[in-house]
Amino acid sequence: MALKLNPVTCPSLYTFPFIALPQSNNTRSYRVSMASTLHSTSRGVENQKKKPFTPPKEVHVQVTHSMPPQKIELFKSLESWAEDNVLVHLKPVEKCWQPQDFLPDPASEGFHEQVMELRKRAKELPDDYFVVLVGDMITEEALPTYQTMLNTLDGVRDETGASLTSWAIWTRAWTAEENRHGDLLNKYLYLSGRVDMKKIEKTIQYLIGSGMDPRTENNPYLGFIYTSFQERATFISHGNTARHAKDHGDLKLAQICGIIASDEKRHETAYTKITEKLFEIDPDGTVLSFADMMRKKISMPAHLMYDGHDDNLFEHFSSVAQRLGVYTAKDYADILEFLVSRWNVEKLEGLSGEGRKAQDYVCGLAPRIKKLEERAQAKKKPSSLVPFSWIFGKEMLV
Ligand SMILES: [Fe+2]
Ligand SMILES: [Fe+2]
């Protein structure tokens, strides 16, 4: 196994602020937590002056290329399978919705009127809803990071930027589909007049500059498990912002969030299908990877968000999302439960001893998380007010 440890600065893992997920000592990856570094408060102004870019909050040793090189061949051999089974989940551009389908048309006579209507509807939505919608939009807008992440994966990366392998075609077209999500939400929020666009734009720039560390180790087994999880998480989250918009009487915004959620669902189908295939070909390797990812916890893609003010911005945003029921610790456990059943993990046979242990671990994890979450919720109620720069410094309960 070609395992290389890179002691370079990297972001910390962030999963969910409300629960301590069960950990196991038996991890396949070498992980070391190191001291946290820099946001504005931690190392002082002088240090920051010397560095034009603030490095991510925390560092740990990064693991690279953890998949044995011979397994790269497995992904090459799946090329035509991917063409027939994965690329079919992309939508031809001509059949795709575009952000403009859901926004006032700047070339039309009625543009100003349409904008006024949009703003009137937006007035009915509470500030905490906007905090969550902005957080979701910022997450979508960090898309360059996610395309980069997919192209770190051995055996499936886009080697040239215009590679004709099925894997590369998928990644580019997936990125192009995703690009509409941030675009639509960004334009909607701009027109709504409810949020501080400059602070939001700064947050996006910080976030893309910080990157993310999903700890997928250039390993497509880990990478596709991560993306399966994340597509479902975004499907849930956008679905819930749609539901809230509808409850507040804004059917157009509900449609915007709903159409994005339906893309996420289609992407979830593709990524879970890839992982299902890996379970079929290599059940032992795949269940070990699944357990490895869950032990490390699935970090949220925007876990390094920063707006230049709040060192705990992601935790605060997540707390509001939890309070509103847009994305909760229970959702995390539900996604895990869904994936265990989607991939028939309980019924896997012929596993090695290690594989059986990994199987037991992932199959027993969701109920354990739920129990811990219930206890944590009983103890911790949102109790402090925190200002959010995105909504002009208004304070929200976190
Ligand atoms: Fe998306
Ligand atoms: Fe997605």
User: What are 115-174's pLDDT values in tens digits?
Assistant: 999 999 999 999 999 999 999 999 999 999 999 999 999 999 999 999 999 999 999 999
Q: Confirm or deny that 268 is annotated as ligand binding.
A: no
Active site residue 97: yes
Six-digit token pair at 139?
Answer: 């997450």
Q: What's the N-to-C CA distance of the chain in angstroms?
A: 45
The pLDDT value given to residue 316: 97
Taking each helix axis from N to C terminus, what angle separates 313-324 and 220-247, rounded to the nearest 10 degrees? 50
For residue 143, the ligand closest to its alpha carbon is 1
Instruction: Tell me which residue of 388, 240, 242, 233 sits closest to 315, measured CA to CA.
Output: 388
CA of 388 to the centre of ligand 2 (A): 26
Q: Confirm or deny that 117 is annotated as ligand binding.
A: no
Residues forming beta bridges with residue 387, ordered by sequence position: 395
Q: Which of the four pLDDT bands, split at 50, 70 and 90, describes residue 53?
A: low
Active site residue 263: yes
CA of 249 to the centre of ligand 2 (A): 26
- Catalytic residue from among 136, 178, 292, 331: 178
For 329, the 3-state DSSP assignment is helix
The span from the CA of 90 to the CA of 82, in Å, is 12
For 185, the 3-state DSSP assignment is helix
CA of 73 to the centre of ligand 1 (A): 30
* Predicted TM-score of the model (pTM): 0.88
Cα atoms in the Cβ-side hemisphere of radius 13 Å centred on 382: 16
The span from the CA of 58 to the CA of 17, in Å, is 16
CA of 70 to the centre of ligand 1 (A): 33
The span from the CA of 192 to the CA of 207, in Å, is 23
Q: Confirm or deny that 178 is annotated as ligand binding.
A: yes
The pLDDT value given to residue 377: 81
For residue 227, the ligand closest to its alpha carbon is 2
Q: Confirm or deny that 231 is annotated as ligand binding.
A: yes
DSSP 24-76: -S--SS---EEEE--SHHHHHHHHHHH-SSPPPSEEEPEEE--S-GGGHHHHH
- Catalytic residue from among 60, 181, 244, 316: 181
- Superfamily classification of domain 73-397: Ribonucleotide Reductase, subunit A (1.10.620.20)
Active site residue 244: no
Instruction: Tell me which residue of 320, 375, 299, 333 sits closest to 132, measured CA to CA.
Output: 320
What does the pLDDT look like over 247-270, one tens digit per residue?
999 999 999 999 999 999 999 999
Q: Confirm or deny that 94 is annotated as ligand binding.
A: no
Q: Which of the four pLDDT bands, split at 50, 70 and 90, describes residue 18?
A: very low
Residue 373, pLDDT > 60, answer: yes
CA of 42 to the centre of ligand 1 (A): 33
What does the pLDDT look like over 59-116, one tens digit per residue?
567 899 999 999 999 999 999 999 999 999 999 999 999 999 999 999 999 999 999 9
Which amino acid type is present at position 195? V
Active site residue 39: no
CA of 383 to the centre of ligand 1 (A): 31
CA of 386 to the centre of ligand 1 (A): 27
Which amino acid type is present at position 254? A
Q: Which of the four pLDDT bands, split at 50, 70 and 90, describes residue 383?
A: confident
DSSP designation for 94: G
Which amino acid type is present at position 21? L
Name the CA dihedral angle for 217, 220, 226, 232, rounded to a multiple of 10 degrees.
160
- Catalytic residue from among 58, 128, 136, 140: 140
249 burial type by CB count under 10 A (0-12 exposed, 13-18 middle, 19+ buried):
exposed
CA of 271 to the centre of ligand 1 (A): 14
CA of 288 to the centre of ligand 2 (A): 25
- Catalytic residue from among 234, 241, 272, 328: 234
Active site residue 181: yes
- Catalytic residue from among 83, 97, 201, 248: 97
- Catalytic residue from among 231, 250, 310, 331: 231
Instruction: Tell me which residue of 219, 233, 221, 224 sits closest to 338, measured CA to CA.
Output: 233
Q: Confirm or deny that 177 is annotated as ligand binding.
A: no
Active site residue 140: yes
What does the pLDDT look like over 288-303, one tens digit per residue?
999 999 999 999 999 9
